[in-house]
Amino acid sequence: MRIMMIQPNYHAGGAEIAGNWPPSWVPYIGGALKSAGYENVRFIDAMTFNIENDKLREIIRINKPDVIMATAITPMILKAQETLKIAREERPNARLILGGIHATFMYTQVFSEAPWIDYIVRGEAEEIIVELLRSIEAGSDVKDRPNIKGIAYLEDGKVVATPAADPIADLDQLNPDWSLLEWDKYIYVPMNVRVAVPNFARGCPFTCRFCSQWKFWRRYRARNPMKFVDEVETLVRDFKVGFFILADEEPTLNRKKFTALCEELAKRKLPVLWGINTRVTDIMRDKALLPLWRKAGLMHISLGTEAAAQMNLEIFRKQTTIAQNKEAIGLIQDAGMVAEAQFIMGMENETPELIEETYRLALDWKVDMANWNMYTPWPFAELFEDLGDRVEVRDYSKYNFVTPIMKPDLMEREDVLKGV
């Protein structure tokens, strides 16, 4: 059975200024397929290679895949639906599968807009996709699908969603296939080296109201540190990776495992640097361990400081204070690492004065980098419902952290962008 995975050709700017990052879903899904015996798997990165629709049609036509998969976060969903429509036109009898966080929660809307999709995989996909593909390969998926957990499909024009699948209990059973990627294109621009995005942990126990990653991954789990460092060593040795970014919401939550990871990286002295996103509370908790983090090659920490106003931190349920944010920035820098602060702009209570105060705060903190994100509540996040008519933009392709999508009470959307 010929299987094709496609990263849709969506571009928003934003993170792309730091380089082209390999899509983290591909090696992990591809590795699950390979472990299950599926060898004829090809990945098409239409985003990185900027593959236009006509060329994509040609690629699909030449390769004749039996199963075509795509993924989508919210701003990518329209392009993903278009990609799979092209696949349907070129391969009428192929099975088309969509995954990712947007389709996981918005599957009813997706099917109403893109009925040519056969299956939506909801949630963590490695185990679900193998079970589904085995059924497709046997020609029995229409009969079997009510009993396959974690999928949604159309039946007689009605959306059917099976019960959610359990989270993967043991992340160490994952065996990613990094050979699916064309590595020369994945460069971390600040260092001009190849970059990878591996998983050390999945899930988040915190319930920030603007975020839905904790709903998607559900239970928090972390890998065996030794096995994870083995994977990093493979990336460095076999694929010449010089920088990696942990694709985790909370890599430092399990202090024991993260410390063991750092100790093992420091012991092996691999020629690789890395970066993480984490919480201010973890920096405060582990301030004595920060020199070890740096010794392990960690050189860039991005903190979800989010706001200049304590009121907004409480709205987000961040469980931190402005004073803690400032102290955490200083601790990171004192340990010799780059400190990045992320700010969310354009809340409903945003004002020109608050924007100016946020800038003054960033200067006072002396952050190495400040990341200004437009407030973008996902349509499946708790805060989205609360905002109601304040959300003026319903074109999901604009939900890219660059375009203001909601109107503050005392400002116009355009003025927020000008202020930033």
Please spell the DSSP secondary structure of 37-106, one letter per residue: T---EEEEETTTTT--HHHHHHHHHHH--SEEEEE--GGGHHHHHHHHHHHHHH-TTSEEEEESHHHHH-
Q: What is the CA angle 221-222-223, rounded to 5?
A: 130
| DSSP 8-state class, residue 113 | H
Which residues of the chain are in CATH 3.40.50.280 domains?
Answer: 3-161
pLDDT in tens, 17-75: 566 889 999 999 999 999 999 999 999 999 999 999 999 999 999 999 999 999 999 99
Give the model's pLDDT for residue 211.
Answer: 66
Place of tokens 């010799």: 336
Helix ranges (H only) for 163-274 are: 213-217, 225-239, 255-268
**Whole-angstrom Cα distance, residue 12 to residue 75?**
8
Q: Regarding the domain with residue range 183-419, which homologous superfamily does it belong to in the CATH classification?
A: Aldolase class I (3.20.20.70)
pLDDT in tens, 246-278: 988 889 999 999 999 999 999 999 999 999 999
**Whole-angstrom Cα distance, residue 232 to residue 247?**
13
Which residues of the chain are in CATH 3.20.20.70 domains?
Answer: 183-419
Place of tokens 């003026």: 392
Q: Determine whether domain 3-161 maps to CATH 3.40.1280.10.
A: no
**Whole-angstrom Cα distance, residue 341 to residue 371?**
6
**Whole-angstrom Cα distance, residue 345 to residue 417?**
9
pLDDT in tens, 297-310: 999 999 987 655 54
Give this prediction's pTM: 0.92
Give the model's pLDDT for residue 86.
Answer: 99
Question: Phi and psi dihedrals of 370, rounded to 5?
Answer: -125, 130
Q: Distance between alpha carbon 328 and the CA centroid of its chain, in Å?
A: 24
Give the model's pLDDT for residue 388.
Answer: 84
**Whole-angstrom Cα distance, residue 415 to residue 408?**
10
**Whole-angstrom Cα distance, residue 340 to residue 366?**
10
Which residue in 195, 210, 218 sits closest to 401, CA to CA?
A: 210
Residues 6+ apart with CB under 8 A from 157: none
